[in-house]
Chain A
Amino acid sequence: MPERNETARAPEHEAEGPVVQAQSKTKAFFKKFLQRKTAVASAVFLLLLLIVAVVGPGMAPYDPAAPDYENLLTGPSAAHLLGTDEYGRDVLSRLMAGTQLTLGVSLSSVIIGAAIGTVLGVLAGYYGGILETLVMRGSDVLFAFPDILLAIAIVAMIGPGIINVVIAVAVFTIPSFARIMRSATLSVKESLYVEVARSIGCKNGRILSRYVFPGTVQSMIVNFTMRVGTAILAAASLSFLGFGANVSEPDWGAMLTSGRNYIGVASHLVYFPGLLIFLTVLAFNLLGDGLRDTLDPKIK
């Protein structure tokens, strides 16, 4: 009996170790990450966007919804840095207001997709058997609809609109997380520390939450960052096809769609929203690349 208690207490003795280890790991991570200039620049850009998303409408030079019929479709000028649209609304203010909507749609859809995909992938990898077969074959079926076709199919079924775009992009995100998290779980499952936890009698729930899941977090973070970029592109594409946000809303994709009708006379209505989508997706991809190289150079 005493022997058993000693063994059972072993992880608690080690508890101080992991805290110190985690701190030094975090330091090492930042040291390595800060060396990657493009990733750092992307992180700064995204942070700025996030600030704009939170306080955007307050910072905007004009009311994004206020029309100005004396300044219709004017190009960039000192008064309107990025010009005005077909109702004379300030493009910069609309882009700032749209940051909230665009990032909100893509982040929420990836969070939902990542949560479902991660739970399914971790459980499939840990328990194996029929659950694994079901999750993996389910992912295969979803993967059989290439690219954004799955999102288009879902929107075709449940109808257009922002909420439906979130659902469609979330579903389209699930299989990639399920696959990546399953393979990450499979390798963590074989680790010595998981075996030790099992041998001292830890229950499956505890092993999963305390040992297996934390071991797979790195893969999840990298995939999450990359998928946000994909989600922005998918949501903008759906808007462009007329299945997403209403064209009157200041969503970047919707702005581009309505601006398309005036490309001949006011090309800035197409250039600026598109450029912003491009730069944001580029920043997420560069950040994802940087995180991947820092956290796990093996998967490069």
Chain B
Amino acid sequence: MSRYFVKRVLGTIPMMLVISILIFLFLHMIPGDPARQMAGKEATEEDLVKIRQELGLNDPLITQYKNYMEGLFHGDLGVSYKTGLPVSEMLLGRLKPTIELMLTAMVWSVLLGIFIGVLSAVKRGKFADYIGMFLAISGISVPGFWLGLVLIQIFSVNLGLVPTGGLDSWQSFILPSLTLGCGIMAVLARFSRSSMLETMREDYVRTARAKGQKEWLVVLRHAFRNSLVQVVTVTGLQIGGLLAGSVLVETVFSIPGMGRLLVDSIAFRDYKVIQAELLFFSLEYIVINLIVDLLYGVLNPKIRYQ
């Protein structure tokens, strides 16, 4: 068991290194002079020299990468060109709303998604199945930002039930969390349904039924528990993607989180902040995938011993 854990954890290190190199090179892949891009057309040569020095663009590439990695290990992500504040400080300040939003979206969407999927599989071909799958395919197809705008118009502007933006009260979480979780709910509903249909065809389910066990016990104890292994993987991948989804949702609902910061930084060409954000988003995704892999090993002994 511990060998499996160590192997999986070590396996992510090369990936993290490649990602760090790519994100470091991000600044160098910008067409033209990054200093000129940041400073704008009216900048003087003096301004450009100053920015190049601040970004360390005059050093050899290897030295730049070494400095970048050293900074990373010390929690130093550079200084924002726009605000003059340390980037790490800016990210930390924006972390709370994003994490809160992610958690609230995660809880309802995972529970409801799996519930719809299981119900659709059990009621296959019946009315509940059609409704469930219609909801699911609509959830996958709807543009999240549009859904957010429509929800604001109906529930905030017309009915006045919830605030239009921000995250000041528990009511203000409702619409952003609905918008953010909609896609995950849909993907999980579809996946749990097909996974449940597969396990319900297994011999052990037939055996449980033949023994005369009650149908709900067959579904929950035998089919659902075994289909859960696959569902966990997809859930993990979807949760990893939530952070990226926050970019749109935070823009629609004017939430000062990490996603909104990324959009603003791109608009201001604040490259150090963009770099740090991309690094954070991708590392978060890798770490969540790793946790899912480890969980998969716990749930499925076959994987552990391979």
Q: Which residues of A contact B (CB under 8 A)?
A: 137, 140-141, 144-149, 152-153, 155-159, 229, 233, 236-237, 240-243, 256, 260, 263-264, 267, 270-271, 274, 277-278, 281-282, 284-286, 289, 300
Contact = CB atoms under 8 A, between A and B. Distances in A.
A260 B29 CA distance: 33
Contact of B251 (A144, A240, A289): A240
Interface residues of B, number: 41
B26 A274 contact: no
Contacts of A264: 157
Contacts of B248: 237, 240-241
B266 interface: yes
Interface string B2-24: 00000000000001001100100
B40 interface: no
Contacts of A241: 247-248, 251, 263, 266
B141 A146 contact: no
A92 to B, nearest CB: 18
A146 B142 contact: no
B204 interface: no
Contacts of B251: 240-241
A148 B140 CA distance: 14
Most chain B CB neighbours (cut-off 10 Å) among A146, A156, A240, A281 = A146
Interface stretch (B75-83, B225-233, B277-285): B277-285
Nearest to A282: B141
Interface in B136-194: 137-138, 140-146, 149-150, 152-153, 157, 194
Contacts of A149: 244, 247, 278, 281-282
A126 B76 CA distance: 45
Given A145-B244, A256-B146, 15 more contacts: A144-B15, A144-B19, A146-B285, A148-B247, A153-B26, A157-B26, A158-B31, A241-B266, A242-B267, A256-B149, A277-B143, A278-B143, A281-B143, A282-B141, A289-B137
B16 to A, nearest CB: 9
B149 A263 contact: yes
Q: Which 8 A-B pairs have the closest CB atoms?
A: A274-B146, A147-B244, A282-B141, A281-B141, A149-B244, A146-B241, A146-B244, A147-B241
Nearest to B251: A241
Contact of B274 (A140, A156, A243, A284): A156
A242 B145 CA distance: 13
B281 A285 contact: no
B236 to A, nearest CB: 11
B235 to A, nearest CB: 14
Interface of B: 15, 18-19, 22, 26, 29-31, 137-138, 140-146, 149-150, 152-153, 157, 194, 240-241, 243-245, 247-248, 251, 262-263, 266-267, 274, 278, 281-282, 285-286
B140 to A, nearest CB: 6
A111 to B, nearest CB: 21
A145 B285 contact: yes
Contact of B266 (A140, A145, A152, A300): A152
A240 B19 contact: no
A153 B285 contact: no
A264 B164 CA distance: 12
Given A141-B15, A285-B141, A300-B194, A267 B266 contact: no
A278 B147 CA distance: 10
A146 B240 contact: yes
A26 B243 CA distance: 44
A145 B141 contact: no
A22 to B, nearest CB: 30
B143 A236 contact: yes
Contacts of B149: 256, 260, 263, 270, 274
Nearest to B18: A141
Contacts of A144: 15, 19, 282, 285-286
A219 to B, nearest CB: 17
Most chain A CB neighbours (cut-off 10 Å) among B19, B137, B145, B152 = B145
Nearest to A299: B194
B262 to A, nearest CB: 7
Contacts of B143: 233, 236-237, 240, 256, 274, 277-278, 281
Nearest to B22: A141
Contacts of A159: 31
